Each structure stands twice: as structure tokens, then as C-alpha cells.
């Protein structure tokens, strides 16, 4: 028995900083999810309950996203994926969509120093078609700014819909079969996974959803097969550093069996 068995060089046993102004302690690093995906919902309801225009909710939501990114990067997560705009959100009034695009444009620009400072790898999933050219240009600049970085992957789901993503993957596979490049019996889980926008990304371990809605809303349907779900009734603009720490603590206590049995 070594004399100082409590002394460890093992990073996984070192305490994780709570991050930001959180008063709730994070679980130890080894118990953290690798990849967290967030359905940020309730911006409109947050604004309405304060007698503000919906757009104010989106503005505040963008500030919260920045804080959460920072807290996750400090905690040492592998990946954070944020559902920013779904392919179904185009049904909204033109005025709100135009503000969302302005906000997204500003956001991607103002996020760049954080990408550099926090060593973030930046990527986007979803269809590019439909997003304005000036927004796509800034996205590409941010991807470029994060190239070669080695820290947390920050992935924004923009104009993203999981069924559309899977449909695109099926089309690619069908084309490969038609050209003789692939035989039907060679198609495996991996064949599908590597044709999704999330190819080379780990599957999410934890999905956080705000605004109390118990639904997945066409988000990463394939990838979250075994993810743990954590839902809070708080609207996204009210989501704070303590909420994230609580979600991580709950996750650390979950018994993940992947269809098998506990140890």
C-alpha cells in the first residue's frame, strides 16, 4: 500500500472547476459526458413572460450559449453540439427569421475570439442551402479560425433536421450500391454513421433540453440512440451554470447499460 495513495497524477481524478459563477460542484472529470448536445428552447416564452419581443429572447439566448460553451470547454468536454436552428424553423414569420439570421451572423463573428482563446474546433451540421451567403461566409471563417485547434469541438446545428440528414445518407448509399461500389450486405451501422453530417464525431452521451418539452424535435435521431436525456422546465435564457453542473451530476449518477446488464 503506497504511503500517499490519495496523491494522484491521474487527470481523471482531479477536481473539475465549477466554471463561471456556478455554485454547484461538477462531478469528477472521469464521470463527465464526452459529448453533450443541447436543445435550446423557450427563447420566445422567456421574452413573452417579460412583455418583451421574441427577438429579445433570442438575444439573451445567444449570451447564455456563450457562457455554456465556456463552462463546457473549461470542464474539458470533448464536444458540445447546440441546436440553433432547425429545418422546420423556416415556418416562422419572415421578421423573426430575418432577426435570427442577423443574430447568427453577429454571433458567428463575435464567437471567433472564443474559438481562438479556448482552442475550440468549430463545425456546423445541417444544410447550407437556405442560409444567407453572408452568414455562410462568416461560418467558413470561423471553421478556418478553429482549424488545427485541439480543444473541445463546438458544433452548431444550423438549418438542421435529422430526417433530412438520414435521407441524404440513404441517397448516397443507394448511389454507391447502384454504381456497384457497395453491396447491400456490406451496409452496416458504420456505413450509415459515416455518411451523416456527424461523421467522425462521437455520439452524444447526454442531451439537455430546456423549456420542459419532452420531445426530441428531429434532432440527431440516429446519434442519440443511447444518450441520456435531461430536461429542465427553465427556458433557455434562464439556463445557468448551476443548471449545467446539475445536469452533469445527474448524468454521473446514471447507470448506462446500452441494453446490457449493470456490472
Residue span binding ligand IPE (CB under 6 A) among the ranges 16-24, 41-49, 65-73, 185-193: 41-49
CB distance 79 to 35 below 8 Å:
yes
Residue span binding ligand IPE (CB under 6 A) among the ranges 15-23, 38-46, 150-158, 169-177: 38-46
Q: Does 234 sit near ligand IPE (CB under 6 A)?
A: no
Q: Of the listed 28, 70, 78, 89, which one is catalytic? A: 89
Q: Does 42 sit near ligand IPE (CB under 6 A)?
A: yes
Q: Among candidates 66, 60, 65, 62, which has minimal Cα distance to 47?
A: 60
Q: Which is nearer to ligand IPE, 159 or 198 (CB)?
A: 159
Neighbours of 59 (CB within 10 A): 18
- What is the grid cell recorded at 2? 503506497
Q: Does 44 sit near ligand IPE (CB under 6 A)?
A: yes
Residue span binding ligand IPE (CB under 6 A) among the ranges 37-45, 150-158, 191-199, 251-259: 37-45
Contacts of 47 (CB under 8 A, 6+ apart): 53, 54, 55, 56, 57, 60, 237
Q: Among candidates 32, 40, 88, which has minimal Cα distance to 204?
A: 32
Q: Among candidates 213, 242, 238, which has minimal Cα distance to 230?
A: 213
Burial of 179 (0-12, 13-18, 19+ CB in 10 A): exposed
Q: Which of 41, 56, 111, 165 binds ligand IPE (CB under 6 A)?
A: 41
- 41 catalytic residue (yes or no): yes
Q: Which of 19, 27, 32, 41 binds Mg ion (CB under 5 A)?
A: 41
Q: Measured on CA atoms in the order 20, 25, 26, 30, is the torsion positive or negative?
A: positive
58 is in an annotated binding site: yes
Q: Which of 26, 36, 37, 40 binds ligand IPE (CB under 6 A)?
A: 40
Q: Does 85 sit near Mg ion (CB under 5 A)?
A: no
Q: Which of 24, 28, 31, 45 binds ligand IPE (CB under 6 A)?
A: 45
46 is in an annotated binding site: yes
d(CA 66, CA 241): 11
92 is in an annotated binding site: yes
- Which positions lie near ligand IPE, rule CB under 6 A? 40-45, 85, 89, 100, 211
- Which positions lie near Mg ion, rule CB under 5 A? 41
- Active-site amino acid positions: 41, 89
Amino acid at each position: 500500500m503506497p504511503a500517499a495513495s490519495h496523491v494522484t497524477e491521474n487527470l481523471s481524478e482531479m477536481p473539475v472547476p465549477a466554471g463561471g459563477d456556478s455554485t454547484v460542484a461538477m462531478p469528477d472529470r472521469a464521470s463527465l459526458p464526452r459529448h453533450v448536445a443541447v436543445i435550446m428552447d423557450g427563447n420566445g416564452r422567456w421574452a413573452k413572460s417579460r412583455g418583451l419581443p421574441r427577438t429579445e429572447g433570442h438575444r439573451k439566448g445567444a449570451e447564455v450559449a456563450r457562457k455554456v460553451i465556456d463552462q463546457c470547454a473549461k470542464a474539458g468536454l470533448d464536444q458540445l453540439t447546440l441546436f440553433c436552428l432547425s429545418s422546420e424553423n423556416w415556418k416562422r414569420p419572415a421578421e423573426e427569421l430575418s432577426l435570427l439570421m442577423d443574430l447568427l451572423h453577429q454571433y458567428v463573428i463575435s464567437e471567433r475570439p472564443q474559438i481562438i482563446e479556448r482552442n475550440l474546433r468549430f463545425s456546423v451540421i445541417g444544410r447550407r442551402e437556405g442560409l444567407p451567403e453572408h452568414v455562410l461566409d462568416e461560418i467558413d471563417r470561423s471553421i478556418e479560425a478553429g482549424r488545427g485547434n485541439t480543444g473541445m469541438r463546438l458544433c452548431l446545428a444550423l438549418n438542421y433536421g435529422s430526417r433530412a440528414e438520414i435521407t441524404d445518407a440513404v441517397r448516397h448509399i443507394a448511389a454507391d450500391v447502384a454504381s456497384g461500389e457497395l453491396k447491400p450486405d456490406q451496409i452496416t451501422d458504420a456505413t450509415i454513421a459515416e455518411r451523416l453530417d456527424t461523421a467522425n464525431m462521437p455520439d452524444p452521451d447526454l442531451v439537455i433540453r430546456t423549456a420542459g418539452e419532452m420531445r426530441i424535435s428531429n434532432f440527431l435521431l440516429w446519434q442519440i440512440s443511447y444518450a441520456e436525456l435531461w430536461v429542465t422546465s427553465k427556458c433557455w435564457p434562464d439556463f445557468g451554470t448551476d443548471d449545467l453542473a446539475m445536469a452533469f451530476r445527474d448524468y454521473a449518477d446514471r447507470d448506462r447499460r446500452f441494453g446490457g446488464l449493470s456490472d
